[in-house]
Amino acid sequence: MTLYDLVFRGVLARLDPERAHGLAVAAIRAIPRLGLTRLVRRATRPDPSLAVDALGLRFDSPFGMAAGFDKDARSIRGLYALGFDHIEIGTVTAIPQEGNPRPRLFRLIADRAVVNRMGFNNRGAAQAAERLRRERSRTRRPVIGANLGKSRVVDVEDALEDYRTSARLLAPVADYLAVNVSSPNTPGLRGLQDRDRLEPLLRCVLAEAGSTPVLVKIAPDLDDAAIDELAHLAVQVGLAGVIATNTTIERTGLRSNPELVAAAEEGGLSGAPLAARSLAVLRRVRAAVPAEFCVVSVGGVDTAEDVAERLDAGATLVQGYTAFLYRGPLWARSITRGLARLRRPVPADQASST
C-alpha cells in the first residue's frame, strides 16, 4: 500500500467527491504557482522513445488527461508537470453554466469507478480561450485539446450555432478540437450522434476550425452498426480522428453495493468497468478507418499494460482520468515509465534464450 493509498482511504474517500476533486485541483495548480513546474517535470518526463507524431503535432508520449478533469483550463501546467503529455480541457460550452444540482459526482470504490452527472459545469468558451492563449505562449507545454459541448439552455435544433461559437473562440488557441456529442448528462446531446444531425454539425465546426484538427468523441453504448457509420462519417467529412469513448449509462456487472449504485442514479459511469467495452469500440473504430487516421482510446485505463494493450489494438493516443483519483499524483509517471519498459527491445541474447 502506497502513501497515497493511505491518504485516499483515510481522508479523501471520506470527503464529498466533488470537494475532494477541488482539493486535488488546488494542489495541482499550486505546482506552477510555487515555481515547481520544471523541477517536477524533470521527475516525470517520459522516455524520448515514447514520442508520437499525430494530428500534425508532436506528443512527448501517447498518454494524456481526458476531458472532464480540467474543465476551465486552470490546471494545464500542473498536469503537465505530473507527466500528462496532452491535456484535453472541458467540456467547454459557448454559454457559461453551473451544471447539474449537487450531489453530482459519486465514487464506486469497489469497482474503481465513478459516476458523474456534472452537466458541463464551466465558465464558458470565452474565458477558456483567454487561458489557452496564455498557455500557448509558453515554450514548454503539453499538447492542448479543447472539448466542445452544447450549452444546456440551447435547444438541440439550435446546436450548430452554439458549437460554432465555441469553435470560433477556441480553434485559434487550441492544438485540436474535440466535438462532444456523447455525454449522457445534457438532455438531447446523444441524439446529435444521429448521422442526419451529426454531419452538418461536424461540417460547421470544421469550417470554423480552419487548420486546427477536429475529432469527434463517441459513446460506448452505440451498437456496432452505429459505430461503423460514425467512423465512416468522420473520415468522409474530413475529421482528423475519433475519440472512443465517453462514459457509459450501463450498470451491469458492478460489485459495489446496489444501494450505493442506485443513489448515484443517472449519469455517466467511468473507470475499470468501462475497460472491456472501450477496448472493443477502439478495435471496431480502428477497423473502419484508414491506418493513418487518429484514434484516441479512453475508458478504463489504469496501468501501463492497459495503455500498451490500447496501442497494440490500434490507438494512436490514450487518455485516462478516473484512475488518477485512485492512483494519485504519480499515476502518469508510472504509466509512461512502465510503457517505456514494455516497449524496450529485448536484447538478442535474451530473445534467443527464451
- Pinpoint the alpha helices (H) of 71-194: 76-81, 125-136, 159-170
- Residue 144: helix, strand or coil by DSSP? strand
Enumerate helices (H) and strands (E) in the chain, giving the number of each.
Answer: 14, 13
Selected catalytic residue, list 151, 166, 182, 183? 183
Terminal Cα-to-Cα distance of the chain (whole angstroms): 33
Show Cβ contacts of residue 91 under 8 Å, excluding neighbours closer than 6 positions: 67, 68, 71, 120, 122, 147, 148, 149, 180, 183
* CA–CA distance, 318 with 50 (Å, rounded to integer): 12
* CA–CA distance, 330 with 76 (Å, rounded to integer): 16
What φ, ψ does residue 238 adopt, rounded to 5°? 95, 25
Its sign, for the CA torsion 290, 206, 246, 60, is positive
**What residues does 52 pair with on adjacent strands?**
59
Q: Is 183 a catalytic residue?
A: yes
**Identity of the residue numbered 237:** V
- As given in the structure block, the three cell numbers for residue 291 are 491506418
List C-alpha distances in Å: 204 to 170, 207, 340. 14, 5, 40
**Identity of the residue numbered 305:** E
* CA–CA distance, 314 with 295 (Å, rounded to integer): 7
**What residues does 319 pair with on adjacent strands?**
64, 298
Q: Of 22, 17, 135, which Cα lies nearest the Cα of 87?
A: 135
* CA–CA distance, 58 with 60 (Å, rounded to integer): 7
Residues noted as catalytic: 183
